[in-house]
Structure 1
């Protein structure tokens, strides 16, 4: 609150959102991003390329995965 000037309630929500983002497992992240990108009209190949790039750029990088591994996370 001191460094941002946010009211207590807003600061608590921001902290909860950030914590939830970092608590999300790789599998949950892949499934969520697949749904989001599919809803935008993208097909699997561009989705998996984008998700792989996003996973590499996360603050805590996921293990190196293949498109096939992503597909198995999404479709089982």
Structure 2
């Protein structure tokens, strides 16, 4: 597939120089970079937010800071048993 990509002049100059010094065409350099980035993204686990709880549902949130609650074992992360 052919496509057109606009790059900042300095980035294009550095990419051409890098490709030349490593015996690559600019196309090969771009293709390698894209493949590496896509492989890296695929290998990264999706971030999963864990709920933070304090007390029982419906209880007012204590006046103490969350780090104090966690220190006292009153704050938990993740599903409750």
User: What TM-score comes out, normalization by structure 1 length?
Assistant: 0.27
- Bigger CA radius of gyration: 2
| Structure whose residues are more often strand by fraction | 2
User: What TM-score comes out, normalization by structure 2 length?
Assistant: 0.26
| Higher relative contact order (CA closer than 8 Å, sequence separation 6+) | 1
| Structure whose residues are more often helix by fraction | 1
